Chain A
Amino acid sequence: MEKTGKLKFAFYWAASCGGCEITVLDVNEKILDVLALADIVFWPVAIDIKYKAVKAFPDKSIDVCFFNGAIRTEEQEHMAKLLRKKSKVLIAFGSCAYQGGIPGLANVADKKEVFERAYLQSPSTHNPNCVTPKTSFKVPEGELKLPEFFDTVKTLDQTVAVDYYLPGCPPVSDQVAKAVEAIAKNELPPKGSVLAPEKSVCDECPRKKEDKKISKIYRVYEITPDPEKCLLEQGIICIGPATRGGCGAKCINANMPCTGCGGPCPNEMEQGAAMMSALLSILGVSGEKELEYDAEKLADQIRDPLGTFYKYSLPASLLRRRIMKK
């Protein structure tokens, strides 16, 4: 690496959709400020730099590594460890690296089930020979190797030590810009911090909040919500109350409920339990002394509780994954 006096940034993607990469570009003209500030020394999505080049970097030579995506393969784990070694500051960038994110929902299954679904059962698959990925395959030229696909999706910090977290699916660009600014000014908070406000999405939500007592849950297509009124109060499950803000309540402003990509609020152990407890406390609260009251029925209204409460945070939850079948 040449020495320019500028900071050195790296971007990497593990198990993710690519949305986080777009967010980096979403900072628009500020990308130029970033480039003025830092050299991007590694960015597989945009720049062709081989892994072995990274391996050759001196340790701690990358100032900041923005790592997005969860860890589900041997390759991702390897790169996480490598980039940790090479970086002064490692940022878990986006919901997947931070909490496991959408790929983390695969923790309701194991490798075998995932492969069966992806390579055999899904309606769009045509695979008459039932070929599934293998870690090694002999061809006349020799043995081909693929990285191992793990049973369990992990968050970045379950794999390597992480210095900062930038939540969001994807992180909103001004949060990113703020982080970059903090890096530039060397004003980063204590290590381990989440680079987002301490309050929940509700704090940024402009809707009117009156009475949280609800008795029926509606799915988004079932009603046309009043755009002025709190969605949760209208019976739509909005995870905003249990989700760290910083996003400016973007989804809610588009009349869609928050699904929780910001992760748990700072004083909660896990987002799923926090939202579950909150929602089930207010659901049916008005009718609880009545004869027809039925706790079970109220809870039955939520079809896929794990997917609802742990949409972005399953690997980071207390139980982390569905228990492996023996």
Chain B
Amino acid sequence: MTKSEFEPKIVGFLCNWCSYAGADLAGVSRIQYPPTLRIVRVMCSGRVDPVFILEAFRSGADGVLVAGCHPGDCHYLSGNYKLQRRVSMLKKVLEQFGLEPERLRLEWVSASEGDRFATVIKDMTEKVKKLGPSPLNNGG
């Protein structure tokens, strides 16, 4: 793959009840977005452990998306808040590791926001493209 046609690989951790449903709705509504995302379903965004994100980067992800229910909407009451704090912290840590914190993105996507989900992926793909391949992605 040459640099000019760099297609980023993004791993997305999606909560079952809102964001995964939002991704499904994008499909049902046939809203097109770039084929850059590989989704990993978890029941609650609060399940997402920083180690999953670090491992995704180590395994060559150019970007990692974590998406959960909007604040107040968490199917499990408050898992999304725990995730939000971990991501806030992890972004700082990534920066210290010299990895652009923008490669990690937290989004709240509800079950009815298929359009927004697609917009997020489009936007994230663009942004990660601009950043270029992850410096950890040496396998290409």
Contacts and interface: CB of A to CB of B under 8 A. Distances in A.
A and B touch in the complex (CB under 8 A): yes
Interface of A: 108, 268-270, 272-274, 276-277, 279-281, 283-285, 288-289, 293, 295-296, 298-299, 302, 304-306, 309, 317-319, 321-326
Given A273-B50, A273-B51, A318-B54, A306 B89 contact: no
Given A274-B51, A305-B93, A323-B136, A298 B85 contact: yes
A306 B86 contact: no
Interface residues of B, number: 26
Contacts of B85: 280-281, 283-284, 295, 298-299
Contacts of A283: 85
Contacts of B55: 269, 318
A276 B96 contact: no
B34 interface: no
Interface of B: 49-51, 54-55, 57-58, 72, 78, 81-82, 84-90, 92-93, 96-99, 135-136
Contacts of A270: 51, 54
A305 B87 CA distance: 12
A276 B50 contact: yes
A323 B135 contact: yes
- If over half of B's interface residues share one DSSP class (helix, strand or loop), that class is named, otherwise mixed; here it is helix
Given A283-B85, A295-B85, A299-B88, A318 B51 contact: yes
A276 B93 CA distance: 10
Contacts of A323: 97-99, 135-136
A215 to B, nearest CB: 12
A283 B49 CA distance: 15
Contacts of B87: 295
B51 A285 contact: no
A321 B97 CA distance: 6
A289 B72 contact: yes
B16 to A, nearest CB: 20
Nearest to A288: B81
Contacts of B82: 280-281, 285
Contacts of B88: 280, 295-296, 298-299
